[in-house]
Structure 1
Amino acid sequence: MLSSLGMNLHRSLLALLLALGLSGCATTARKTDTTTRVERPATPAPAAQVTVRDEGNPSTSDEALAALASAPIYFTLDSATLTPEAQDGLERLAQALRQRPQARVNVSGHTCELGTTEYNLALGHRRADIVRTYLVRLGVEPQRIAVVSYGEEKPMDEHALEKNRRAELSVRQAE
């Protein structure tokens, strides 16, 4: 009888732990796409937003760099994978940056409000880092690219969560 009671208690504890583990997973965002893959998925998105701050005299080459601006790089829910359109925009940006060795880039990663604060900060960092990694693979020196994650702290649109799942780029000319 005692061993039967112990066995039932063991099964009950195992079931309770399993239920707690599953319920904990339901309250946080899935962490399935944690790699920094640079592949071309089927989902389209706009190219990178580029803001140019020139502390010197503006020139036509700086205008060409500013012309690469169109929109933030958008990501799907719980993803840090670049779309083909984002890759195309980053390729044009990398080409412009290779021609301007004095230019510096800041990449900020953002998320929607789903998930915990800690998870969103990590996801925002992965998004910014995938952009940085892609630019480095295209020949931009890593020391010229800074990344920061704001997680859910700086939403673009509080009513359209998909607009908050993004990375933004800011390009400045060093003196």
Structure 2
Amino acid sequence: MRKSLTLGVALLALTLAGCGRKAPPAAELPPTTEVPADVNGAVAGDVELTELPAMQADLIAKAGSDTVYFGTDEYQLDPQSQATLAAQAKWMLANPRVRASIEGHADERGTREYNMALGEKRANATRDYLVSQGVPTARLLVTSWGKERPVATGSDESAWAQNRRAVTVVVR
């Protein structure tokens, strides 16, 4: 009897040891957010994007450019940038099955952290303008490259001006 009582206590102890950690209450669980899928079934925020060079060329041909430029330490859109984005929005609305990655960039000056934040503000300003023109938010992804992907090399105003930009990249 003593042996069976000892085994019973040991079994109970093992059973209770596995129950020592409770699941957190619902208030402590991280919130979940459903992200709507686009018409192709892709979800905004997908890590792997496929660029579509032929569609990119069509965007540039019909909208005039896939790029808008910014002043030093700025992320507001000037009238020329707004005109370019209005043409891009018109193209996006005529091509409802495509998505775009809005990529914000900065010149080489400043810290990496500062330029990543500035690139994000530029990409968000660009996205927000496209949305104001009727492009669904779910079709637009925002990425900041900061100073990591310069289009022009050099440490002068000419190079810096080319690198302060937001680019609309057509993706699947």
Tell me whether 1:124 sits opposite 2:119 in the alignment. yes
Aligned to 2:69: 74
Aligned to 1:106: 101
Percentage of identical aligned residues: 38
C-alpha contact (below 8 Å) 2:107/2:147 kept by paired residues: yes
Distance of aligned partners of 1:71 and 1:87 in 2 relative to their CA distance in 1, 3 Å threshold:
same
Deviation, 1:144, is 0.1
Distance of 1:148 and 1:142 partners within structure 2: 14
Structure 1, residues 96-129: CA drift from partner, whole Å, max 9, x if none? Answer: 2112211111111110111111110000000001
Structure 1, residues 54-82: CA drift from partner, whole Å, max 9, x if none? Answer: 5xxx8xxx975341243621100000011
Q: Gapped runs of 5+ residues in structure 1?
A: 1-50
Distance of aligned partners of 1:119 and 1:96 in 2 relative to their CA distance in 1, 3 Å threshold:
same
C-alpha contact (below 8 Å) 1:52/1:66 kept by paired residues: no
Structure 1, residues 144-169: CA drift from partner, whole Å, max 9, x if none? Answer: 00110010101111211111111111
Distance of 2:106 and 2:144 partners within structure 1: 9
Distance of 1:84 and 1:111 partners within structure 2: 20
RMSD over aligned CA atoms reads 2.1
TM-score normalised by the chain length of structure 2: 0.62
TM-score normalised by the chain length of structure 1: 0.61
C-alpha contact (below 8 Å) 1:52/1:65 kept by paired residues: no
Tell me whether 1:135 sits opposite 2:133 in the alignment. no
Tell me whether 1:65 sits opposite 2:64 in the alignment. no
- Matches for 1:19-168 after TM superposition, within 5 Å: 52-54=52-54, 65-67=59-61, 68-70=63-65, 72-159=67-154, 160-168=159-167
C-alpha contact (below 8 Å) 1:106/1:170 kept by paired residues: yes
Q: Secondary structure at the match of 1:134?
A: helix
Aligned to 2:9: none
Q: Gapped runs of 5+ residues in structure 2?
A: 1-50
Q: Secondary structure at the match of 2:117?
A: helix
Distance of aligned partners of 1:145 and 1:71 in 2 relative to their CA distance in 1, 3 Å threshold:
closer
Distance of 2:168 and 2:112 partners within structure 1: 22
Structure with the greater alpha carbon radius of gyration: 2
